[in-house]
Amino acid sequence: MDRQTDNSPSFGHLRLVDCVVVIYCVLRILVWELPLFLVTCYLWRSESSAPFVSALPYFLVRKTNELLNPIALRWLTGSSSEYVNLVLTSRRYRPYRNNIYHALTRTDFKGFWVMQGSLQNLESPSSSDLTILYLHGGGYISSQPSHYLLFLLRLGEAILEQGTSVSIFALDYSLAPEHVFPAQLKEATAAYEYLINEEHILPEKILIAGDSAGGHLALSFLVALANEHSLLRKRLPKPGGLVLMSPWLSLHNELPSFKINAHKDVLPVISSLNSLYLEFLTPEPAIEWDAVLPSWVWVSAGTDELFFDGVKTWVDILEDRLGQERVTFVAGAEKVHVWQWLQTIIDERMKKEVLEREMGDRKGFGATAAVGRAIAKHYLEQTFPDPG
C-alpha cells in the first residue's frame, strides 16, 4: 500500500469562476464581515478576552463555509499534503511514520489505513480488538481523510492507552456535486463488506464512526443494511457499535438552536437542503431504530452548535425506545460543531505542543482522547467469539 494525499482532482485545481468567488469571499470578509464582527465583539465585550479569542476562528470558518461554493471550498482547504507531512515528521509520530496512513484503492471504494493494530507495528486488522470505519464530515461536498489524520491518530492513541488494540480505516468517499448521493452510501457499503469478507474482521469488532455529514452517512448505511428492500443490502450483519459526533440528522432547520446558535457555531445556517439525502429526525415512513442500530451507540453534540436541538431530540427518542443503557449522549457545554476534531485543526498552539511531545504524553486534545476512552471502555467489557 502506498501513501498518498491528493486523491481527487477537485482538490488543488481552481477554475476562473472559482477564483472570482474566492476573491469576492476574501474581500467581503475583510471589508464588511470582519469589521462588523469586531464592532459587535467590542459592544458586547467583557473583562476577559477569552470569548473573543475563541469566537474569531469560529467566525472565519463559518463565513468561509457560507460564502464559498464546493469547488472553491475544496481548493481553500486543499489536499493537506503539508499537514500530513507536518504530522508524520513530528517528534511524536516520526518514529512510526512507516506504519501510519497507508492508502488502499479498490474499484468500488478507496481510503486510508490510519493505523493497523498499533503504531509501533503493522498488524493484521483482524487481530485487533477493534476496527473503526471512519466517515468524515464536510457536508458531502468537501474534506477528506488527510484533514482528520491528527484527530484519528490521537483517537487511536487514547484507545491504545486503555489496553485495546485498534485499527482505523478512513473512507475517502466521492464528493458532491460531481458524485450524487447515494454514491457515497455504495462506497461505505463496499468498504464495510471488504472489512468483513476480505480482512476477515468480525462484525462485532467493527465500530462505525462519523461526524456531521459522516454521521448522516453512517446512519444511511445502517438503514440500508436493515432494509430488506434496499438495493444496497448484501446480507451483512450489523457492526458492534456506532459513534456519532454532531451528526447531521435532519433536512429542516426550524429548531431553536438554529437561531440561538447562528452566531456561535462554525456552521452557517443553510436555507435549503438537498432532498436526495435521508431524513432521520422526522422520517416518513418511521424508522425502526431497534432493528437499525447496533447494540451500543455513543452520540455527542455541542450546546453552541446549530444541530444541538435536533441531536438531543433524536437521542431522547432513542433512549425512550431502546433504553439508556444502549445509548450514551455527551452534551459539550459551550462547544461548537464537532469540537473534538476542530481543535486538532484550528488550535495551533495545542497542535504544536502535542506534535513536539513524545508518544505516551497524554496532554493535549482532551476532547478527542475522551471519545477514545469511551470507545475503549465499551469494547473492553465485551466478549467476542473465536473466529476460528
Catalytic residues: 212
In DSSP notation, 51-120 reads HHHHHHHHHHHHHHHHHS-HHHHHHHH---HHHHHHHHTSTTTGGGGGGS-EEEE-SS-EEEEEEEEBSS
CB of 273 closer than 8 Å to CB of 202: no
N-to-C CA span, the chain: 27
Residue pair 378/296 in contact (Cβ under 8 Å)? The answer is yes
Residue entry with cell 505516551: 360
Q: Count Cβ atoms below 10 Å from residue 57 Cβ, excluding itself.
A: 15
Cβ atoms of 340 and 305 within 8 Å: the answer is: no
Give me the torsion for CA of 226, 232, 235, 237, rounded to 10°.
Answer: -50
Phi, psi of 272 (to 5 degrees): -135, 140
Beta strands in the chain (DSSP E): 102-105, 110-117, 130-135, 166-171, 206-211, 241-245, 297-302, 327-332
Task: Give the closest residue to 310 by CA, choosing from 328, 331, 294.
Answer: 331
- Strand 110-117 with 102-105, pairing: antiparallel
